[in-house]
Protein backbone atom coordinates (compact mmCIF):
# COMPACT_ATOMS: atom_id res chain seq x y z
CA UNK A 1 0.00 0.00 0.00
CA UNK A 2 2.30 2.71 -1.33
CA UNK A 3 2.11 5.99 -3.20
CA UNK A 4 5.19 7.52 -4.80
CA UNK A 5 7.27 5.03 -2.82
CA UNK A 6 5.58 6.06 0.42
CA UNK A 7 3.76 3.35 2.37
CA UNK A 8 0.41 4.12 3.99
CA UNK A 9 -0.24 0.86 5.85
CA UNK A 10 1.96 -2.18 6.41
CA UNK A 11 -0.49 -5.16 6.61
CA UNK A 12 2.25 -7.73 7.20
CA UNK A 13 2.85 -6.29 10.66
CA UNK A 14 -0.81 -6.77 11.61
CA UNK A 15 -0.91 -10.30 10.19
CA UNK A 16 2.21 -11.29 12.13
CA UNK A 17 0.97 -9.79 15.40
CA UNK A 18 -2.51 -11.28 14.99
CA UNK A 19 -1.11 -14.70 14.18
CA UNK A 20 1.19 -14.56 17.19
CA UNK A 21 -1.68 -13.64 19.51
CA UNK A 22 -3.79 -16.56 18.26
CA UNK A 23 -0.93 -19.04 18.63
CA UNK A 24 -0.57 -21.13 21.79
CA UNK A 25 2.03 -19.73 24.19
CA UNK A 26 4.39 -22.70 23.81
CA UNK A 27 4.54 -22.23 20.01
CA UNK A 28 5.04 -18.47 19.87
CA UNK A 29 8.85 -18.58 19.87
CA UNK A 30 8.73 -20.97 16.94
CA UNK A 31 6.38 -18.64 15.07
CA UNK A 32 8.65 -15.65 15.79
CA UNK A 33 11.54 -17.62 14.30
CA UNK A 34 9.45 -18.35 11.23
CA UNK A 35 8.53 -14.66 10.88
CA UNK A 36 12.22 -13.72 11.09
CA UNK A 37 13.21 -16.23 8.41
CA UNK A 38 10.36 -15.14 6.12
CA UNK A 39 11.32 -11.47 6.56
CA UNK A 40 14.95 -12.23 5.74
CA UNK A 41 13.98 -14.05 2.55
CA UNK A 42 11.56 -11.33 1.43
CA UNK A 43 14.04 -8.50 2.03
CA UNK A 44 16.91 -10.32 0.34
CA UNK A 45 14.64 -11.05 -2.60
CA UNK A 46 13.78 -7.34 -2.74
CA UNK A 47 17.47 -6.53 -3.19
CA UNK A 48 18.27 -5.31 0.31
CA UNK A 49 21.75 -5.84 1.66
CA UNK A 50 22.34 -8.45 4.33
CA UNK A 51 22.84 -5.81 7.04
CA UNK A 52 19.66 -3.94 6.12
CA UNK A 53 17.79 -7.23 5.86
CA UNK A 54 18.84 -8.27 9.37
CA UNK A 55 17.87 -4.89 10.87
CA UNK A 56 14.48 -4.90 9.13
CA UNK A 57 13.79 -8.54 10.09
CA UNK A 58 14.74 -7.87 13.70
CA UNK A 59 12.38 -4.88 13.69
CA UNK A 60 9.56 -7.08 12.37
CA UNK A 61 9.82 -9.71 15.11
CA UNK A 62 10.32 -7.09 17.87
CA UNK A 63 7.10 -5.28 16.92
CA UNK A 64 5.13 -8.54 16.87
CA UNK A 65 6.65 -9.66 20.17
CA UNK A 66 5.91 -6.38 21.96
CA UNK A 67 2.30 -6.31 20.76
CA UNK A 68 1.79 -9.88 21.93
CA UNK A 69 3.62 -9.36 25.24
CA UNK A 70 1.81 -6.16 26.22
CA UNK A 71 -1.63 -7.31 25.04
CA UNK A 72 -1.39 -10.79 26.57
CA UNK A 73 -0.06 -9.77 29.96
CA UNK A 74 1.87 -11.99 32.34
CA UNK A 75 0.04 -15.23 31.63
CA UNK A 76 0.45 -14.85 27.87
CA UNK A 77 -3.22 -15.62 27.20
CA UNK A 78 -4.89 -13.82 24.34
CA UNK A 79 -7.86 -11.64 25.23
CA UNK A 80 -10.98 -10.63 23.35
CA UNK A 81 -12.04 -7.60 21.34
CA UNK A 82 -15.14 -7.59 23.55
CA UNK A 83 -13.01 -6.48 26.51
CA UNK A 84 -12.26 -2.73 26.59
CA UNK A 85 -9.17 -3.12 28.78
CA UNK A 86 -7.69 -5.75 26.51
CA UNK A 87 -8.32 -3.58 23.43
CA UNK A 88 -6.56 -0.71 25.21
CA UNK A 89 -3.58 -2.98 25.93
CA UNK A 90 -3.58 -4.06 22.28
CA UNK A 91 -3.46 -0.42 21.16
CA UNK A 92 -0.69 0.31 23.67
CA UNK A 93 1.24 -2.69 22.39
CA UNK A 94 0.80 -1.46 18.81
CA UNK A 95 2.21 1.96 19.72
CA UNK A 96 5.14 0.47 21.64
CA UNK A 97 5.81 -2.13 18.96
CA UNK A 98 5.74 0.37 16.09
CA UNK A 99 8.08 2.79 17.89
CA UNK A 100 10.52 0.00 18.78
CA UNK A 101 10.32 -1.38 15.25
CA UNK A 102 10.89 2.07 13.72
CA UNK A 103 13.86 2.67 15.99
CA UNK A 104 15.53 -0.63 15.08
CA UNK A 105 14.83 -0.26 11.35
CA UNK A 106 16.23 3.30 11.39
CA UNK A 107 19.57 1.96 12.55
CA UNK A 108 20.05 0.73 8.99
CA UNK A 109 19.78 4.34 7.77
CA UNK A 110 22.22 5.97 10.19
CA UNK A 111 24.64 8.16 8.30
CA UNK A 112 22.35 8.57 5.30
CA UNK A 113 20.73 11.75 6.61
CA UNK A 114 17.29 10.14 6.28
CA UNK A 115 17.12 8.30 9.60
CA UNK A 116 14.47 10.57 11.21
CA UNK A 117 12.27 10.72 8.13
CA UNK A 118 12.60 6.97 7.71
CA UNK A 119 11.76 6.42 11.40
CA UNK A 120 8.54 8.45 11.11
CA UNK A 121 7.47 6.74 7.90
CA UNK A 122 8.24 3.24 9.18
CA UNK A 123 6.60 3.84 12.56
CA UNK A 124 3.38 5.29 11.11
CA UNK A 125 2.91 2.55 8.51
CA UNK A 126 3.63 -0.22 11.00
CA UNK A 127 1.33 1.39 13.58
CA UNK A 128 -1.53 1.49 11.08
CA UNK A 129 -0.79 -2.05 9.98
CA UNK A 130 -0.99 -3.21 13.58
CA UNK A 131 -4.10 -1.21 14.41
CA UNK A 132 -5.98 -1.96 11.19
CA UNK A 133 -5.06 -5.55 10.39
CA UNK A 134 -4.47 -7.14 13.81
CA UNK A 135 -8.10 -6.66 15.01
CA UNK A 136 -9.35 -8.04 11.68
CA UNK A 137 -7.16 -11.14 11.99
CA UNK A 138 -8.28 -11.68 15.58
CA UNK A 139 -11.96 -11.12 14.76
CA UNK A 140 -11.80 -13.45 11.75
CA UNK A 141 -10.19 -16.16 13.86
CA UNK A 142 -12.50 -15.77 16.85
CA UNK A 143 -15.45 -18.16 16.61
CA UNK A 144 -17.33 -16.35 19.35
CA UNK A 145 -16.89 -13.07 17.48
CA UNK A 146 -18.28 -14.59 14.31
CA UNK A 147 -21.26 -15.98 16.23
CA UNK A 148 -21.91 -12.54 17.70
CA UNK A 149 -21.94 -11.07 14.20
CA UNK A 150 -24.40 -13.73 13.06
CA UNK A 151 -26.64 -13.24 16.04
CA UNK A 152 -26.53 -9.45 15.65
CA UNK A 153 -27.73 -9.20 12.06
CA UNK A 154 -29.51 -12.52 11.83
CA UNK A 155 -29.33 -12.76 8.01
CA UNK A 156 -26.57 -13.39 5.49
CA UNK A 157 -28.22 -10.94 3.10
CA UNK A 158 -27.81 -8.04 5.51
CA UNK A 159 -24.14 -8.85 6.13
CA UNK A 160 -23.49 -9.07 2.42
CA UNK A 161 -25.29 -5.77 1.83
CA UNK A 162 -23.21 -4.08 4.52
CA UNK A 163 -19.93 -5.28 3.01
CA UNK A 164 -21.00 -4.29 -0.51
CA UNK A 165 -22.15 -0.87 0.71
CA UNK A 166 -18.84 -0.34 2.52
CA UNK A 167 -16.91 -1.20 -0.64
CA UNK A 168 -19.18 1.05 -2.72
CA UNK A 169 -18.84 4.12 -0.51
CA UNK A 170 -15.08 3.56 -0.23
CA UNK A 171 -14.83 3.50 -4.02
CA UNK A 172 -17.01 6.61 -4.18
CA UNK A 173 -14.79 8.39 -1.66
CA UNK A 174 -11.40 7.40 -3.06
CA UNK A 175 -11.97 6.85 -6.81
CA UNK A 176 -12.88 10.47 -7.55
CA UNK A 177 -11.84 13.85 -6.28
CA UNK A 178 -14.58 16.09 -7.61
CA UNK A 179 -16.43 15.89 -4.27
CA UNK A 180 -14.91 15.32 -0.82
CA UNK A 181 -16.76 12.20 0.36
CA UNK A 182 -14.35 10.92 2.99
CA UNK A 183 -17.13 11.02 5.58
CA UNK A 184 -18.98 8.19 3.79
CA UNK A 185 -16.53 5.38 4.71
CA UNK A 186 -16.62 6.61 8.30
CA UNK A 187 -20.43 6.50 8.31
CA UNK A 188 -20.41 2.97 6.88
CA UNK A 189 -17.81 1.95 9.44
CA UNK A 190 -20.21 3.03 12.19
CA UNK A 191 -23.02 0.97 10.61
CA UNK A 192 -20.73 -2.05 10.32
CA UNK A 193 -19.76 -1.51 13.95
CA UNK A 194 -23.39 -1.44 15.08
CA UNK A 195 -24.48 -4.55 13.21
CA UNK A 196 -21.32 -6.69 13.25
CA UNK A 197 -19.42 -5.50 16.31
CA UNK A 198 -15.58 -5.51 16.40
CA UNK A 199 -15.44 -7.73 13.31
CA UNK A 200 -17.49 -5.19 11.36
CA UNK A 201 -15.42 -2.25 12.61
CA UNK A 202 -12.12 -3.94 11.74
CA UNK A 203 -13.47 -4.98 8.32
CA UNK A 204 -14.71 -1.47 7.49
CA UNK A 205 -11.40 0.16 8.41
CA UNK A 206 -9.48 -2.47 6.46
CA UNK A 207 -11.64 -1.95 3.35
CA UNK A 208 -11.13 1.82 3.59
CA UNK A 209 -7.38 1.36 4.07
CA UNK A 210 -7.09 -1.10 1.19
CA UNK A 211 -9.17 0.80 -1.38
CA UNK A 212 -7.94 4.18 -0.20
CA UNK A 213 -4.33 3.09 -0.59
CA UNK A 214 -4.94 1.62 -4.05
CA UNK A 215 -6.75 4.65 -5.46
CA UNK A 216 -4.50 7.16 -3.72
CA UNK A 217 -1.43 5.39 -5.11
CA UNK A 218 -2.92 5.93 -8.60
CA UNK A 219 -3.38 9.62 -7.97
CA UNK A 220 -7.12 9.39 -7.45
CA UNK A 221 -9.43 10.25 -4.56
CA UNK A 222 -10.18 13.04 -2.15
CA UNK A 223 -6.79 12.70 -0.49
CA UNK A 224 -5.25 14.51 -3.46
CA UNK A 225 -7.38 17.55 -2.67
CA UNK A 226 -5.05 18.12 0.27
CA UNK A 227 -2.39 20.70 -0.50
CA UNK A 228 1.21 19.55 -0.19
CA UNK A 229 3.42 16.81 -1.43
CA UNK A 230 3.19 13.03 -1.21
CA UNK A 231 4.43 12.97 2.38
CA UNK A 232 1.71 15.39 3.47
CA UNK A 233 -1.03 13.45 1.67
CA UNK A 234 0.26 10.17 3.09
CA UNK A 235 0.21 11.64 6.59
CA UNK A 236 -3.32 12.98 6.00
CA UNK A 237 -4.55 9.55 4.89
CA UNK A 238 -2.90 7.85 7.85
CA UNK A 239 -4.48 10.32 10.27
CA UNK A 240 -7.81 9.70 8.54
CA UNK A 241 -7.48 5.96 9.14
CA UNK A 242 -6.48 6.54 12.76
CA UNK A 243 -9.56 8.72 13.27
CA UNK A 244 -11.73 5.99 11.74
CA UNK A 245 -10.15 3.43 14.05
CA UNK A 246 -10.55 5.65 17.10
CA UNK A 247 -14.19 6.28 16.17
CA UNK A 248 -15.20 2.67 15.63
CA UNK A 249 -13.12 0.20 17.65
CA UNK A 250 -13.89 1.59 21.13
CA UNK A 251 -17.58 1.79 20.22
CA UNK A 252 -17.47 -1.73 18.78
CA UNK A 253 -15.83 -3.07 21.92
CA UNK A 254 -18.33 -1.37 24.22
CA UNK A 255 -21.24 -2.53 22.06
CA UNK A 256 -19.95 -6.09 22.09
CA UNK A 257 -19.48 -5.93 25.84
CA UNK A 258 -22.97 -4.50 26.30
CA UNK A 259 -24.55 -7.14 24.06
CA UNK A 260 -22.66 -9.91 25.83
CA UNK A 261 -23.93 -8.56 29.14
CA UNK A 262 -27.47 -8.39 27.70
CA UNK A 263 -27.22 -12.00 26.51
CA UNK A 264 -25.92 -13.05 29.90
CA UNK A 265 -28.78 -11.18 31.55
CA UNK A 266 -31.34 -12.85 29.28
CA UNK A 267 -29.79 -16.23 29.98
CA UNK A 268 -29.78 -15.60 33.73
CA UNK A 269 -33.38 -14.38 33.57
CA UNK A 270 -34.33 -17.55 31.70
CA UNK A 271 -32.59 -19.65 34.36
CA UNK A 272 -34.29 -17.60 37.08
CA UNK A 273 -37.71 -18.04 35.46
CA UNK A 274 -37.15 -21.78 35.14
CA UNK A 275 -36.00 -22.02 38.75
CA UNK A 276 -38.94 -19.93 39.96
CA UNK A 277 -41.40 -22.09 38.02
CA UNK A 278 -39.84 -25.25 39.45
CA UNK A 279 -39.82 -23.93 43.01
CA UNK A 280 -43.15 -22.05 42.68
CA UNK A 281 -41.53 -18.84 43.85
CA UNK A 282 -41.76 -15.45 42.16
CA UNK A 283 -40.33 -12.01 42.79
CA UNK A 284 -41.89 -8.58 42.71
CA UNK A 285 -40.89 -4.95 43.11
CA UNK A 286 -43.01 -2.01 44.18
CA UNK A 287 -41.82 1.43 43.03
CA UNK A 288 -43.25 4.15 45.28
CA UNK A 289 -42.87 7.33 43.19
CA UNK A 290 -44.48 7.06 40.74
CA UNK A 291 -46.26 3.99 42.04
CA UNK A 292 -45.71 0.93 39.86
CA UNK A 293 -45.67 -2.77 40.60
CA UNK A 294 -43.60 -5.40 38.77
CA UNK A 295 -44.41 -9.12 38.85
CA UNK A 296 -42.22 -11.91 37.54
CA UNK A 297 -43.88 -14.60 35.40
CA UNK A 298 -44.22 -16.98 38.33
CA UNK A 299 -46.10 -14.38 40.40
CA UNK A 300 -48.73 -14.32 37.64
CA UNK A 301 -48.79 -18.13 37.70
CA UNK A 302 -49.24 -18.22 41.48
CA UNK A 303 -52.16 -15.78 41.17
CA UNK A 304 -53.68 -17.88 38.37
CA UNK A 305 -53.50 -14.94 35.96
CA UNK A 306 -52.30 -14.61 32.38
CA UNK A 307 -48.88 -13.02 31.96
CA UNK A 308 -49.12 -9.38 31.05
CA UNK A 309 -49.04 -5.98 32.62
CA UNK A 310 -48.66 -6.10 36.38
CA UNK A 311 -51.65 -4.77 38.34
CA UNK A 312 -51.45 -1.77 40.62
CA UNK A 313 -50.99 -2.22 44.35
CA UNK A 314 -54.68 -1.92 45.18
CA UNK A 315 -55.66 -4.69 42.75
CA UNK A 316 -52.77 -6.84 43.96
CA UNK A 317 -54.08 -6.57 47.52
CA UNK A 318 -57.58 -7.44 46.31
CA UNK A 319 -56.23 -10.83 45.23
CA UNK A 320 -55.77 -11.83 48.87
CA UNK A 321 -58.54 -13.56 50.78
CA UNK A 322 -60.84 -10.99 52.45
CA UNK A 323 -60.00 -12.41 55.87
CA UNK A 324 -56.25 -11.89 55.24
CA UNK A 325 -56.32 -8.63 53.28
CA UNK A 326 -56.06 -6.21 56.21
CA UNK A 327 -53.21 -8.18 57.77
CA UNK A 328 -51.27 -8.18 54.48
CA UNK A 329 -51.78 -4.45 53.99
CA UNK A 330 -50.72 -3.70 57.57
CA UNK A 331 -47.60 -5.84 57.18
CA UNK A 332 -46.47 -3.94 54.07
CA UNK A 333 -47.30 -0.51 55.53
CA UNK A 334 -45.51 -1.39 58.76
CA UNK A 335 -42.40 -2.43 56.84
CA UNK A 336 -42.37 0.83 54.88
CA UNK A 337 -42.74 2.83 58.08
CA UNK A 338 -40.15 0.90 60.11
CA UNK A 339 -37.80 0.22 57.16
CA UNK A 340 -37.55 -3.33 58.42
CA UNK A 341 -38.11 -6.58 56.47
CA UNK A 342 -41.51 -8.23 56.61
CA UNK A 343 -42.83 -11.76 56.29
CA UNK A 344 -46.33 -13.17 56.33
CA UNK A 345 -48.41 -16.15 55.28
CA UNK A 346 -51.78 -15.57 53.67
CA UNK A 347 -54.30 -16.94 51.20
CA UNK A 348 -54.73 -15.81 47.61
CA UNK A 349 -58.09 -16.19 45.93
CA UNK A 350 -57.60 -16.85 42.23
CA UNK A 351 -60.02 -15.59 39.57
CA UNK A 352 -61.45 -19.13 39.26
CA UNK A 353 -62.19 -19.18 43.00
CA UNK A 354 -59.47 -21.60 44.05
CA UNK A 355 -57.40 -20.78 47.12
CA UNK A 356 -53.60 -20.82 47.21
CA UNK A 357 -51.58 -20.45 50.37
CA UNK A 358 -48.51 -18.22 49.99
CA UNK A 359 -45.58 -16.98 52.02
CA UNK A 360 -44.33 -13.50 51.14
CA UNK A 361 -41.15 -11.81 52.36
CA UNK A 362 -39.64 -8.49 51.40
CA UNK A 363 -37.79 -5.41 52.51
CA UNK A 364 -37.66 -1.70 51.62
CA UNK A 365 -35.07 -0.29 49.22
CA UNK A 366 -33.34 2.87 50.42
CA UNK A 367 -31.70 5.69 48.47
CA UNK A 368 -30.06 8.51 50.39
CA UNK A 369 -31.81 7.31 53.51
CA UNK A 370 -35.28 7.41 51.94
CA UNK A 371 -37.51 4.46 51.06
CA UNK A 372 -37.96 4.47 47.28
CA UNK A 373 -39.19 0.95 46.61
CA UNK A 374 -39.85 -2.45 48.09
CA UNK A 375 -38.57 -5.77 46.79
CA UNK A 376 -39.87 -9.17 47.78
CA UNK A 377 -40.51 -12.77 46.88
CA UNK A 378 -43.69 -14.80 47.08
CA UNK A 379 -43.68 -18.56 47.57
CA UNK A 380 -46.60 -20.87 46.84
CA UNK A 381 -46.78 -23.03 49.96
CA UNK A 382 -50.12 -24.67 49.16
CA UNK A 383 -48.63 -28.15 48.94
CA UNK A 384 -46.66 -27.60 52.14
CA UNK A 385 -49.78 -26.25 53.84
CA UNK A 386 -51.78 -29.26 52.67
CA UNK A 387 -49.11 -31.61 54.00
CA UNK A 388 -49.07 -29.76 57.33
CA UNK A 389 -52.86 -29.82 57.42
CA UNK A 390 -52.82 -33.56 56.81
CA UNK A 391 -50.24 -33.91 59.57
CA UNK A 392 -52.42 -31.82 61.91
CA UNK A 393 -55.44 -33.97 61.13
CA UNK A 394 -53.40 -37.12 61.57
CA UNK A 395 -52.02 -35.83 64.86
CA UNK A 396 -55.49 -34.92 66.15
CA UNK A 397 -56.82 -38.29 65.05
CA UNK A 398 -53.91 -40.03 66.76
CA UNK A 399 -54.57 -38.08 69.95
CA UNK A 400 -58.26 -38.92 69.78
CA UNK A 401 -57.50 -42.57 69.19
CA UNK A 402 -54.98 -42.51 72.03
CA UNK A 403 -57.60 -41.01 74.33
CA UNK A 404 -60.12 -43.59 73.20
CA UNK A 405 -57.59 -46.37 73.65
CA UNK A 406 -56.74 -45.06 77.10
CA UNK A 407 -60.43 -44.83 77.90
CA UNK A 408 -60.97 -48.36 76.67
CA UNK A 409 -58.07 -49.56 78.78
CA UNK A 410 -59.35 -47.64 81.81
CA UNK A 411 -63.02 -48.61 81.43
CA UNK A 412 -64.74 -51.93 81.96
CA UNK A 413 -66.62 -52.52 78.72
CA UNK A 414 -69.56 -54.34 80.31
CA UNK A 415 -70.40 -52.01 83.18
CA UNK A 416 -68.82 -48.70 82.12
CA UNK A 417 -67.00 -48.28 85.43
CA UNK A 418 -63.22 -48.33 85.98
CA UNK A 419 -61.28 -51.36 84.79
CA UNK A 420 -59.04 -53.36 87.09
CA UNK A 421 -55.94 -51.66 85.57
CA UNK A 422 -57.33 -48.19 86.20
CA UNK A 423 -58.54 -49.16 89.67
CA UNK A 424 -55.17 -50.52 90.80
CA UNK A 425 -53.37 -47.49 89.40
CA UNK A 426 -55.68 -45.13 91.31
CA UNK A 427 -55.38 -47.19 94.51
CA UNK A 428 -51.59 -46.86 94.42
CA UNK A 429 -51.90 -43.10 93.91
CA UNK A 430 -54.34 -42.68 96.81
CA UNK A 431 -52.18 -44.73 99.18
CA UNK A 432 -49.15 -42.60 98.24
CA UNK A 433 -51.20 -39.45 98.79
CA UNK A 434 -52.45 -40.67 102.18
CA UNK A 435 -48.90 -41.67 103.14
CA UNK A 436 -47.63 -38.23 102.24
CA UNK A 437 -50.46 -36.20 103.75
CA UNK A 438 -51.44 -38.44 106.64
CA UNK A 439 -55.08 -38.68 105.50
CA UNK A 440 -57.61 -41.49 105.77
CA UNK A 441 -58.46 -44.05 103.12
CA UNK A 442 -61.05 -46.84 103.03
CA UNK A 443 -61.63 -49.65 100.56
CA UNK A 444 -64.95 -51.46 100.01
CA UNK A 445 -65.03 -54.81 98.23
CA UNK A 446 -68.26 -56.61 97.30
CA UNK A 447 -69.59 -59.26 94.97
CA UNK A 448 -73.00 -60.51 93.82
CA UNK A 449 -74.44 -63.29 95.93
CA UNK A 450 -75.15 -66.55 94.10
CA UNK A 451 -74.09 -65.02 90.78
CA UNK A 452 -73.23 -68.42 89.28
CA UNK A 453 -76.80 -69.52 89.89
CA UNK A 454 -78.09 -66.51 87.91
CA UNK A 455 -75.90 -67.47 84.97
CA UNK A 456 -76.83 -71.14 85.14
CA UNK A 457 -80.57 -70.52 85.52
CA UNK A 458 -81.13 -67.49 83.31
CA UNK A 459 -78.12 -67.36 80.97
CA UNK A 460 -75.11 -65.15 80.64
CA UNK A 461 -77.08 -62.27 79.11
CA UNK A 462 -79.15 -62.01 82.28
CA UNK A 463 -75.99 -62.31 84.35
CA UNK A 464 -74.46 -59.41 82.43
CA UNK A 465 -77.61 -57.37 83.06
CA UNK A 466 -77.32 -58.07 86.79
CA UNK A 467 -73.71 -56.87 86.81
CA UNK A 468 -74.60 -53.66 84.97
CA UNK A 469 -77.51 -52.89 87.33
CA UNK A 470 -75.44 -53.56 90.45
CA UNK A 471 -72.57 -51.39 89.12
CA UNK A 472 -75.03 -48.57 88.37
CA UNK A 473 -76.58 -48.63 91.84
CA UNK A 474 -73.17 -48.70 93.50
CA UNK A 475 -71.81 -45.87 91.33
CA UNK A 476 -74.87 -43.72 92.07
CA UNK A 477 -74.22 -44.17 95.79
CA UNK A 478 -70.59 -42.98 95.77
CA UNK A 479 -69.11 -39.52 96.24
CA UNK A 480 -67.46 -37.52 93.47
CA UNK A 481 -63.95 -38.30 94.72
CA UNK A 482 -64.63 -42.02 95.08
CA UNK A 483 -63.77 -44.55 92.37
CA UNK A 484 -65.69 -47.76 91.72
CA UNK A 485 -64.16 -50.48 89.59
CA UNK A 486 -64.81 -54.02 88.46
CA UNK A 487 -61.83 -56.08 89.52
CA UNK A 488 -62.95 -59.44 88.20
CA UNK A 489 -66.09 -61.45 87.34
CA UNK A 490 -68.86 -60.40 89.73
CA UNK A 491 -66.42 -58.73 92.13
CA UNK A 492 -66.31 -54.93 92.58
CA UNK A 493 -64.35 -52.48 94.75
CA UNK A 494 -64.65 -48.84 95.78
CA UNK A 495 -61.82 -46.49 96.78
CA UNK A 496 -62.92 -43.83 99.28
CA UNK A 497 -60.19 -41.17 99.79
CA UNK A 498 -60.44 -39.25 103.08
CA UNK A 499 -62.96 -41.72 104.54
CA UNK A 500 -62.39 -43.70 107.71
CA UNK A 501 -64.03 -46.96 108.76
CA UNK A 502 -67.24 -45.31 109.96
CA UNK A 503 -67.81 -43.31 106.78
CA UNK A 504 -66.96 -46.32 104.67
CA UNK A 505 -69.38 -48.50 106.61
CA UNK A 506 -72.26 -46.07 106.08
CA UNK A 507 -71.54 -45.93 102.34
CA UNK A 508 -71.31 -49.72 102.11
CA UNK A 509 -74.62 -50.18 103.90
CA UNK A 510 -76.29 -47.64 101.61
CA UNK A 511 -75.07 -49.54 98.57
CA UNK A 512 -76.23 -52.89 100.01
CA UNK A 513 -79.73 -51.56 100.60
CA UNK A 514 -80.05 -50.05 97.10
CA UNK A 515 -79.01 -53.32 95.50
CA UNK A 516 -81.35 -55.30 97.77
CA UNK A 517 -84.24 -53.16 96.54
CA UNK A 518 -83.52 -54.04 92.89
CA UNK A 519 -86.06 -56.14 90.99
CA UNK A 520 -84.61 -57.39 87.71
CA UNK A 521 -86.93 -59.16 85.29
CA UNK A 522 -85.66 -62.24 83.52
CA UNK A 523 -86.65 -63.36 79.99
CA UNK A 524 -89.94 -64.78 81.28
CA UNK A 525 -90.87 -61.48 82.95
CA UNK A 526 -90.34 -62.74 86.50
CA UNK A 527 -88.63 -60.22 88.80
CA UNK A 528 -85.50 -61.57 90.44
CA UNK A 529 -84.06 -60.34 93.73
CA UNK A 530 -80.36 -59.52 93.91
CA UNK A 531 -78.11 -59.10 96.93
CA UNK A 532 -74.45 -58.40 97.57
CA UNK A 533 -71.96 -59.13 100.34
CA UNK A 534 -69.47 -56.42 101.30
CA UNK A 535 -66.20 -56.13 103.18
CA UNK A 536 -64.54 -52.86 104.20
CA UNK A 537 -60.96 -52.18 105.19
CA UNK A 538 -59.20 -49.03 106.37
CA UNK A 539 -55.65 -48.13 105.37
CA UNK A 540 -53.06 -47.84 108.12
CA UNK A 541 -49.71 -46.04 107.76
CA UNK A 542 -47.08 -48.22 106.14
CA UNK A 543 -49.60 -50.53 104.47
CA UNK A 544 -49.63 -51.00 100.71
CA UNK A 545 -52.41 -51.76 98.24
CA UNK A 546 -51.95 -55.52 98.57
CA UNK A 547 -52.45 -55.35 102.33
CA UNK A 548 -55.50 -53.10 102.04
CA UNK A 549 -57.18 -55.26 99.39
CA UNK A 550 -56.45 -58.39 101.37
CA UNK A 551 -57.99 -56.82 104.48
CA UNK A 552 -61.18 -55.83 102.62
CA UNK A 553 -61.33 -59.22 100.88
CA UNK A 554 -61.07 -61.05 104.21
CA UNK A 555 -63.95 -58.95 105.55
CA UNK A 556 -65.97 -59.80 102.41
CA UNK A 557 -65.56 -63.51 103.02
CA UNK A 558 -66.61 -62.99 106.63
CA UNK A 559 -69.84 -61.49 105.27
CA UNK A 560 -70.28 -64.52 102.99
CA UNK A 561 -69.88 -66.89 105.90
CA UNK A 562 -72.33 -64.80 107.92
CA UNK A 563 -75.11 -65.60 105.46
CA UNK A 564 -74.55 -63.05 102.65
CA UNK A 565 -76.46 -59.80 101.98
CA UNK A 566 -74.49 -58.10 104.73
CA UNK A 567 -71.21 -56.28 105.35
CA UNK A 568 -68.27 -56.85 107.64
CA UNK A 569 -65.37 -54.66 108.74
CA UNK A 570 -61.79 -55.81 108.55
CA UNK A 571 -60.27 -56.56 111.92
Query: Hey, which residues are catalytic here?
Result: 490
The answer to whether residues 200 and 256 touch, using CB atoms and an 8 Å cutoff, is no
* Contact of 277 with 301, CB cutoff 8 Å: yes
* Integer Cα distance of 116 and 110 in angstroms: 9
417: part of which helix (H) or strand (E)?
none
Task: Name the burial class of residue 120, with classes exposed (0-12), middle (13-18) and buried (19+) by CB atoms within 10 angstroms of its CB.
Answer: middle
Taking the C-alpha atoms of residue 78 and residue 138, their distance in angstroms, rounded to an integer, is 10
For residues 306-326, one letter each, b for 16 or more C-beta atoms within 10 angstroms of the residue's C-beta and e for the rest, the string is eeeebbebeebeebbeeebbe
Spatial contact of 496 and 426, defined as CB atoms under 8 Å apart: no
Q: 251 near 193, Cβ under 8 Å? A: yes
> CA 114 to CA 108: how far, in whole Å?
10
Phi, psi of 135 (to 5 degrees): -60, -35
Instruction: Let me know: does 447 contact 535? Beta carbons within 8 Å.
Output: no
The SS3 call for residue 447 is: strand
Q: What are phi and psi of 445, to 5 degrees?
A: -125, 140
One DSSP character per residue, 492-526 reads EEEEEET--HHHHHHHHHHHHHHHHT-EEE-TTS-
CA distance to 33, 331, 413, 511, per residue, from 557 (Å): 126, 76, 27, 17
Amino acid sequence: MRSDGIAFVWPASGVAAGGLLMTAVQWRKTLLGGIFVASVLVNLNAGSSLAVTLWFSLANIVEAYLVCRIASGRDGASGSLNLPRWVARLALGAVAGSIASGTIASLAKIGSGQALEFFLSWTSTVLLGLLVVTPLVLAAGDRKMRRVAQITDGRVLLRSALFLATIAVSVAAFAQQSAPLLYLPLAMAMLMTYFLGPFGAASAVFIAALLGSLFTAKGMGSVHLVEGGPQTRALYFQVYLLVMLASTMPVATLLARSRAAARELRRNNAFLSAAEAKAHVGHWRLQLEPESLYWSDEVFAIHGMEKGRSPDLALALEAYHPADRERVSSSIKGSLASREPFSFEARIQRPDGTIRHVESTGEPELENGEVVAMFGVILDITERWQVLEELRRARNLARKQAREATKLADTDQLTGIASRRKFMERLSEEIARAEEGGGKLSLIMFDVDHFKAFNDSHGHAFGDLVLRMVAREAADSTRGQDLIGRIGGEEFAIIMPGAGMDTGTLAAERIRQRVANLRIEDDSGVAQNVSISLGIGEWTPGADEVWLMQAADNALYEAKRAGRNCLRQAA
